[in-house]
Structure 1
Amino acid sequence: MAATNIILGYGETLTQPFKLNRGSGDKKYPYNIAEQRESLGKQLGRLMQEQQAQPAIIKPRGESVARFTLHPAFLAKTHHPNGLLKASGLRCVGSRSAYVVPRNVASSRQRSGESLFTAALYVAGSDDAFRRLADMLFSTRIPQTHQKAFCRFELVQPFAASDKNYVDETISNRPTLEVVLHASAQDGDIVKAFARYAESLGGVADIARALIVSGLTFVPVRLPASKAHGLSAFQFVRAVRVMPSLRIGGREMRASSIAAPALPALPAIDTSLKVAVFDGGIGHSDLSQWVQETVLPGAESTSAAYLGRIGKTEKIGR
């Protein structure tokens, strides 16, 4: 059997150490630091001017929250500007998805003028911290890592009240609102400051019923819908919306007919034993000797499909 001839292309490279370049090379940046000083410098200037004009009552700890939108080419966690923010005294308190039309694209796969998916970071800090960030942007001694971090931003903007308010102000009644705050379990002072601010608008924030989930605090607030926009001006508010109501399916609930048992004439044997039953209600006083009915606010009315009593037969819906 004939031997197989192995042909090596560019075999001469094996006569000495040879480094094989892998990957796509260094990350291509859409902007250089000079371009960002021109663009972000103006944006930071407008942001700081607006922050300094804000009243103290909406700035707990003297801090504001701004929205920093990343260029779509830098969504990976390795590109997160944590180092830059920490060096200036700022911190990221949240993020959300967003779309932006970048001034310049960083890849041939992206088309100029196209709206692209990206992320918006919610950045909190004092006026001095935002001023330090602006000073770092124009510093000639800024480290290369921070220069690259600046070049990953597309927009720096205030987090405006209009961007947080999801309440239809045409609602005439006094609804219960749900306010989402950028506040974790360690930020009780921010929640209390918000309650004082809501009170100044004529509302009541029920912080005793606040729910904390993943760095966000959900607070019920009683306030006219017409004042929801003012509530959104509080800097650490993430969103204001009408409290969602419990929804029941459109189909009729099935009911079973059960013969009513004969009621005893004696009182309860042990009055210290108590059981809470969440049901459609009683609607009569036949059981008043043993049962105390509590109707929660807003549940005064019900549906005949869920509660019915005909003669000695109870219609019980489950």
Structure 2
Amino acid sequence: MSKQNFLLGRGERLTNNIVVKGGGAPKEPPYTFNEARSRLSPMVTEASSRIDDLPQAACPGDEAVISLTLNPEYIAKSFFPYELMRDVGIEVIGSRPKKATPAKRSRGREPEEAVTTELFAKGRRSAIRSWSQQLPNWRANRGSANALISIEEVLAPVPHAKIKGSLPERGRMALETVLHANELERVMLEAFEEYLQVQEIEVELGRRFFAKGLCFLELDAPVERADDIALFTGVRTLRQMPGLRILRPTIRSAGIPTTDLVLPSEGPVSEDVRVAIFDGGIPDNHPLTQWATPYELPGMLPATEDDLSHGVGVTSAALFGHINTKEPLPRPYANIDHYRVLDEAPGQNPHELYEILERIEGVLSSQEYDFINLSLGPCLPIEDDDVHAWTAVLDDRLSRVSTLAMIAVGNDGEGDAILGLDRVQVPSDCVNALAIGACDTPGEDWQRALYSSKGPGRSPGLVKPDLVDFGGEFSRPFVVVAPDAIPSLTTTGGTSFATPSVLRLGAGIRAHFGGSLNHLAIRTLLVHTSEEGGQDHKEIGWGRVARSLDDVILCDDDTVRVVYQGEISPAKYIRAAIPVPSTQMSGMVSITATLCYKTQTDPHHPGNYTRAGLEVTFRPNDTKYSRDEQVHPNSDSFFGSSLPGATEDELRHDAWKWENCLHAVKRKRGSSLINPCFDIHYNARLEGRNYAPPEKLSYAMVVSVQAKGVADLYDQVVRQYATQIEPLRPILEVPIRT
């Protein structure tokens, strides 16, 4: 057997704690205190007058919500206006990104439009009224004076601004409303019901989901009363209930002539890998039930033919990938639990979205899987200023479990780009999952399939889709096992099938390496080993997923690939050495690095959605110092300056530090690399302000070093670091293939 250079593990042994002192120059404000007071006083007076005019029932506990837009220069967590909130007697209950042009900028610069943060703050109407009366008399020595300078605008939200999209002029319909309320504050929900009764608005309240500071609620109501519903101060958003994505494939199905479809006779490669698919179901007598167990949830109607066809196709893709009709079917890597969550054709039940989410959440709350697949979801492109219920609920669940979720981005890539209808669809904007799009061929010269929905995602989470894989197209459809009881093949296409194909590769990694690679490491490896396609990241994310397991777990002789799986404490720094030979490397050297971590989320603060951030500093040469008093070697750019999809404004405000998946490639001369390393700093925030969580943050990092001029780089590194890193060898003695 020829020599195999396996992926190297235990990279965390190459890390150690370091101390880095921070600090910066004092900030020059855009306004003086007197300017800020003069600007804001009439705004606060107007806002107070508007909320005083609201019906008493619309303000439970005599509390109302106002919005405060921050000056774009004050959106960092360290500038959160906590002192002002406490002084006025209001508390922030949510926020959203907003574009604004400030009246002034610091240092005399010309004002320009920039992305900033709109805060939603709740307080008694009497407190806001008192603020409006006293603000003209505030003095510069007041404790909250500096915080006042950070505010650009104060408003009372108006009903029509809360309504998303267009609504019919009249008639009853299913609506989705989002309330500023968490599960411990159900009084807001009760007050909302009372308000609707007082206003004589005939509604039927349905399912509700709580996610941090939001309550997502379905209701049947007359649309001509939408403004009255939105007048309630606790309402954040109101829209028509979105429908389910149409599950019909983007490519018309056709049978493939075959005389003998032979299914594998063996069981899965591993009995230990747990996979769940939530989809349209599998017939009980179907041949795929050899590896896939169908589960029927209580209270559901019979499955439709379209649902079963989709469910079987998705399951086939998870077991075998795109089937090459000229080769035998590969052995599946894992068994699958297939939960049927669909029971009606999309659009027939206006409440289907919440019903399906309730079914999925019910399963996930009782069982933990290694991998889950979602090739369905709302027919709703993501929005920059709001997080949908599906995303909020699933992201919260995924932040707390050791599960890697694959979610299809949808098939609306040819939608209206100006209106954003071509963007990835909910819930593929989950930051704790991999969003999967489709490319048009499994071979060379691939590109995004035209139907595959495009990025960017919301910031943080800009790179969506994360990855693409072959999903079929008209001249070359995706081949799956047909839904018939007799084994046969059929063709289909869409991101629904590219997604379980990526899951299959992840399950293969897990099957062969067991617990030595956790779900974060597998996610990181999938991104790290993807093929760049030369297209915009909005089209294909980080690239096309690797073609085989060999591409992920084996290294060429001139390449070394190391996996780091570790933890870091809040506000701390670790230094992660990049393993290179002690002798100078000739020629150019490529360093590829990928860093992933899961994070708790704040869906009521979409602009500050992730609670954790890792700031990475690249130090290529530990002998280079610019100043005598310098403690640490010179740094060089790596992740931040190349974040795909980031605007200049986002880079300026270091938004990349809150992205929980970073990937970049850097080329350097071998002679310039002397004990290179990454310094990693853990930042934490809560609802956009400073926060020090008690627990450490788990992360996974993969670093590859390739030196074409060093033919035995892998062997040199393995020998030099023999007491620290080690090859990860498969735990199963089976051929590695796809």
State the TM-score, normalized to the length of structure 2: 0.32
Q: 1:98: how far off? A: 0.3
**Counterpart AA for 2:104:** N
Distance in 2 (CA, whole Å) between partners of 1:56 and 1:299 is 36
CA contact (8 A) 2:178 2:236 kept: yes
Q: How does 1:63-102 map to 2 (within 5 A)?
A: 63-102=63-102
Equivalent position amino acid for 1:204 in 2? V
Q: Deviation of residue 132 (structure 1)?
A: 3.5
- Residue 224 of structure 2 corresponds to 226
One-letter amino acid matched to 2:90? L
* 1:45 aligned partner, one-letter code: T
Q: Which moved more, 1:28-37 or 1:149-158?
A: 28-37
Distance 1:223 1:254, change over 3 A: farther
**Does the 8 Å contact 2:209/2:216 carry over to 1?**
yes
Q: CA deviation at 1:47?
A: 1.1
5 Å matches for 1:67-216? 67-107=67-107, 111-112=110-111, 114-134=112-132, 137-140=135-138, 143-170=141-168, 172-199=170-197, 200-206=199-205, 209-216=207-214
Tell me the alpha carbon deviations over residues 110-143 of structure 1, each in whole angstroms, 9 at most, x when there is no partner: 532x211100000111122113433553345564
Q: In 1, distance between residues paired with 2:89 and 2:139?
A: 18
State the 1:68 CA deviation: 0.4
Preserved CA contact (<8 Å) 1:67 1:156: yes
1:125 match: secondary structure? strand
Following superposition, the deviation at residue 275 of structure 1 comes to 6.5
Contact 2:205 2:218 in 1 (8 A): yes
Match of 1:270 in 2: none
C-alpha distance in 1, partners of 2:176/2:42?
35
**Cα gap change, 1:254/1:181 in structure 2, threshold over 3 Å: closer, same or farther?**
farther
Q: Contact between 2:179 and 2:235, CA under 8 Å: does it hold in 1?
A: yes
- The one-letter amino acid paired with 2:202 is G
1:246 paired residue number: 244
- The gaps in structure 2 that reach 5 residues or longer are 1-21, 256-281, 287-296, 306-342, 351-482, 486-738
Structure 2 vs 1, CA of residues 197 and 275 (structure 1 numbering), >3 Å: closer, same or farther?
A: closer
Higher normalized contact order (CA 8 Å, seq sep 6+, divided by chain length): 1
- Is residue 258–residue 315 contact of structure 1 (8 Å, CA) maintained in 2? no
Aligned to 1:26: 26
Give the CA deviation at 1:56: 0.3
CA apart distance, 1:64: 1.0
The separation in 1 between residues aligned to 2:161 and 2:210, in whole angstroms, is 22
Instruction: Give 1:156 deviation, angstroms.
Output: 0.4
Write the distance in 2 (CA, Å) between the matches of 1:299 and 1:49. Answer: 42
Alignment check: 8 A CA contact 1:195 1:205 kept: no
User: Given residue 71 of structure 2, which amino acid in structure 1 is its aligned partner?
Assistant: H
- 1:191 shift after superposition: 0.6
Q: Which deviates the most, 219-228 or 66-75?
A: 219-228
| Counterpart contact for 2:48–2:132, Cα < 8 Å | no
What is the match of residue 9 of structure 1?
Answer: none
Identity of aligned residues (%): 24
Displacement of 1:169 in angstroms is: 3.1
Question: Residues 211-235 of structure 1, C-alpha deviation per residue, up to 9 Å, x if partnerless?
Answer: 1112100111111222212111110
Residue by residue over 1:182-223, the C-alpha shift from the partner in whole angstroms, topping out at 9 and shown as x without a partner, is 01122211111111223434332426x221112100111111
Q: Residues 279 and 107 (structure 1 numbering): CA distance in 2 closer, same or farther, change over 3 Å? A: farther
Residue pairs, 1:38-49, within 5 angstroms:
38-49=38-49
Would the alpha carbon gap of residues 204 and 69 (structure 1) be closer, same or farther in structure 2, given more than 3 Å must change?
Answer: same
> Following TM superposition, by how much is the alpha carbon of 1:150 offset from its aligned partner in structure 2, in angstroms?
0.6
Determine the C-alpha separation between the residues in 2 that align with 1:223 and 1:257. 38
Contact 1:137 1:150 in 2 (8 A): no
2:303 aligned residue (280, 286, 311)? 280
Kindly tell me: are residues 202 and 253 of structure 1, through their superposed partners in 2, closer, same or farther at Cα, counting changes over 3 Å?
A: farther
The C-alpha deviation readout for 1:83-102, integer Å capped at 9, x for no partner, is 21112210001000001111
Q: Distance in 1 between matches of 2:36 and 2:283?
A: 74
Other structure's SS at 2:65 match: strand
Point out where structure 1 has 5 or more consecutive residues left out of the alignment. Answer: 1-21, 261-273, 283-293, 301-313
Report if aligned partners of 2:101, 2:114 keep a CA contact under 8 Å in 1.
yes
Residues 230-277 of structure 1 deviation map (CA, whole Å, 9 limit, x = unaligned): 1111101000011122223332679999999xxxxxxxxxxxxx9666
Contact in 2 for aligned 1:211/1:219 (Cα 8 Å): yes
Deviation at 1:66, TM superposition (A): 0.8
1:235 equivalent in structure 2: 233
Asked if 2 retains the 8 angstrom alpha-carbon contact of 1:168 and 1:225, the reply is: no
Q: Pick closer, same or farther for the CA change 1:44–1:247 going to 2, 3 Å.
A: same
1:174 and 1:233, CA in 2 relative to 1: closer, same or farther beyond 3 A? same
**Bigger-Rg structure (1/2):** 1
Deviation at 1:23, TM superposition (A): 6.5
Q: CA deviation at 1:106?
A: 1.6
Aligned to 1:267: none
2:87/2:144 contact within 8 Å kept: no
- Separation of aligned partners in 1, 2:154 and 2:169: 34
Deviations, residues 266-299 of structure 1 (Å, cap 9, x unaligned): xxxxxxxx966664259xxxxxxxxxxx989945
In structure 2, the residue matched to 1:53 is: 53
Distance change (3 Å), C-alpha of 1:226 and 1:277: closer
Comparing 172-181 with 71-80, greater Cα deviation is found at 172-181
Indicate how the Cα distance of structure 1 residues 253 and 139 shifts in structure 2: closer, same or farther if over 3 A, else same. Answer: farther
Distance in 2 (alpha carbons) for counterparts of 1:93 and 1:224: 28
Measured in 2, the distance between the counterparts of 1:176 and 1:218 equals: 13
Say if 1:33 and 1:257 are closer, same or farther in 2 by CA, change over 3 A. Answer: closer
Q: Residue 301 of structure 2 contacts residue 344 of structure 2 at CA under 8 Å; is this kept in 1?
A: no
* Structure 1 residues 117 and 259, CA gap change in structure 2 (3 angstroms): closer
Which sits farther off after the overlay, 234-243 or 126-135? 126-135
2:64 counterpart letter in structure 1: S
